[in-house]
Amino acid sequence: MSQHAAIPLLTPLLPDREALAPYLAKLDQNRHYSNFGPLNNALEARLAGMFEEHGAYPLHVTTTSSATLGLELALSSLDLPAGSKVIVPALTFVASLTAIIRAGYIPVIADIDAQSWLLTPEIATEAAIQTGARAVLAVAAFGQPQDTRHWSDFQRKSGIHVVIDAAGAFGSQWVEAPDIPVVYSMHATKSLAAGEGGLVVSGNSVINAHIRQLSNFGINLDSNAGFPVGHLSFVGSNAKLSEYHAAVAHASLDQWDAQARLRQDIYRAYRQALEDACGDLLQWQAGITLAAPTIFCLRMAAEARDRLETICRQRQIATRRWYQPLLHQHAAKVAPIIKQPTPVAEAVASGLIGLPFSPFLTGEDIARVTKAASLATASLTLTHQA
């Protein structure tokens, strides 16, 4: 039996009550608790400023009650005929899939790139030729950003709409093309944590206004729409961010720089320790250094992965096979889907493992996980040599 405390997979870092106090005081003053209140509106403006520092266009931010609702409403706002096909990568969280289905479309499950583990415009082009898809939901999987300019070229040349699911990529994914809506999560486990919440960011004010209206049941909010304000103009949902969640998001933003630095420092030391111990027996997702990592995911031979899971279980170290089963393995049970060949996603998934990661991870935790990984991969090398 292990003498050590358990190492959890994730430990959320949210602002404490002291950091929340000034925003809760505003709530008491305002007596406005939802429905696009002052804290929500200030949050949208604050975030738009942050995004604009990383882009060449004015950007609009619309909050939602979760990224899942943000995705569903962004897809609904495309106003495609019911049953239109929407391409999505096989390796992503189930919310990417459910958002497509709930918007009334049919998911086309496509493969990923072998290095970045992302759906690319090249893969989407092929899937669209095969299936006649009308839209793509590209995913910034594991927080690794998508290239919005590249997707904007794809959208312009193909006429196929693109939405980006960047639920786990706040701080690393920017919106450099004004015509590509990007959706982020503020769930407790994300880098900008509000408990629950989502953001849709785009350079197109019409798209953002449409999503805002969809988040408010579909009730017309625009006195210039040629339609009475307060009347239902299409079918939306209730996906508004409450003022309480906006308060937490403000306090999280106040701590953003320090928190992102801490996450980066821990990630760098952790990865270095694993690379020193296991060398090229480990594979990493190709891409940029993330601004604020929230999960720790890598790949190894399937046999080593299975062994590492067993060793970790014995040592009370939590692990997770992120985004598995693959999307089509879930989807086959819940709704009609179209499946493209996904050999790369299957190969990547066969050795993928998520190890514990949080801003609270200690050097001792890293040493324990590294020891487990070196045992799992060393015994694999010996087995192969035997």
Closest distance of CB 151 from ligand PLP, Å: 16
Closest distance of CB 141 from ligand PLP, Å: 6
Amino acid found at 153? D
Residues from 317 through 356 that contact ligand PLP (CB under 6 A): none
Which residue has tokens 């992503």? 92
Q: Which two tokens mark 53? A: 């520092």
- Long-range (24+ apart) CB contacts under 8 A made by 285-289 are 285/115, 285/116, 285/117, 285/141, 285/142, 285/144, 286/115, 286/116, 286/117, 287/116, 287/144, 287/145, 288/144, 288/145, 288/172, 289/264
Distance CA(202)–CA(152), nearest Å, equals: 12
Closest distance of CB 124 from ligand PLP, Å: 16
Residues from 92 through 131 that contact ligand PLP (CB under 6 A): 92-93, 95-96
Closest to ligand PLP by CB, 168 or 203 = 168
Shortest CA distance to 290 belongs to which of 320, 322, 268, 321?
A: 268
Q: In what order do the strands lie in the sheet with 161-165?
A: 60-64, 198-202, 182-185, 161-165, 135-139, 85-89, 106-110, 338-339
168: left (phi over 0), alpha (psi -120 to 50) or beta: alpha
**40 interacts with ligand PLP by CB under 6 A:** no
**66 interacts with ligand PLP by CB under 6 A:** yes
**72 interacts with ligand PLP by CB under 6 A:** no
Using an 8 Å Cβ cutoff, are 292 and 170 in contact?
yes
Closest to ligand PLP by CB, 142 or 267 = 142
Stretch that binds ligand PLP, among 162-170, 204-212, 310-318, 377-385 (CB under 6 A): 162-170
**365 interacts with ligand PLP by CB under 6 A:** no
Closest distance of CB 89 from ligand PLP, Å: 10
**Chosen residue from 72, 165, 243, 365 binding ligand PLP by CB under 6 A:** 165
Closest to ligand PLP by CB, 74 or 281 = 74
Q: Which two tokens mark 385? A: 């040599």
Task: Count residues near ligand PLP (CB under 6 A).
Answer: 14
**Chosen residue from 102, 134, 161, 187 binding ligand PLP by CB under 6 A:** 187
Stretch that binds ligand PLP, among 22-30, 165-173, 255-263, 307-315 (CB under 6 A): 165-173
Q: For 302, phi and psi rounded to 5 degrees?
A: -55, -40
**Chosen residue from 127, 133, 139, 266 binding ligand PLP by CB under 6 A:** 139
Using an 8 Å Cβ cutoff, are 162 and 151 in contact?
yes
Closest to ligand PLP by CB, 148 or 374 = 148
Stretch that binds ligand PLP, among 38-46, 145-153, 164-172, 240-248 (CB under 6 A): 164-172
Closest distance of CB 188 from ligand PLP, Å: 9
* Polymer length in residues for the chain: 386
**167 interacts with ligand PLP by CB under 6 A:** yes
Residues from 194 through 213 that contact ligand PLP (CB under 6 A): 198
Distances (CA, A) of 128 to 148, 158, 178, 191, 372: 18, 9, 23, 33, 43
Distance CA(115)–CA(144), nearest Å, equals: 12
Closest to ligand PLP by CB, 26 or 245 = 245
**168 interacts with ligand PLP by CB under 6 A:** yes
Closest to ligand PLP by CB, 145 or 278 = 145
**Chosen residue from 40, 185, 342, 377 binding ligand PLP by CB under 6 A:** 185
Stretch that binds ligand PLP, among 63-71, 128-136, 170-178, 352-360 (CB under 6 A): 63-71
| Number of Cα atoms under 13 Å in the Cβ half of residue 227 | 11
DSSP string computed for 192-224: S--BS-EEEEES-HHHHHHHHHHHBTTB---TT
**20 interacts with ligand PLP by CB under 6 A:** no
Query: What residue ranges bind ligand PLP (CB under 6 A)?
Result: 66-68, 92-93, 95-96, 139, 165, 167-168, 185, 187, 198
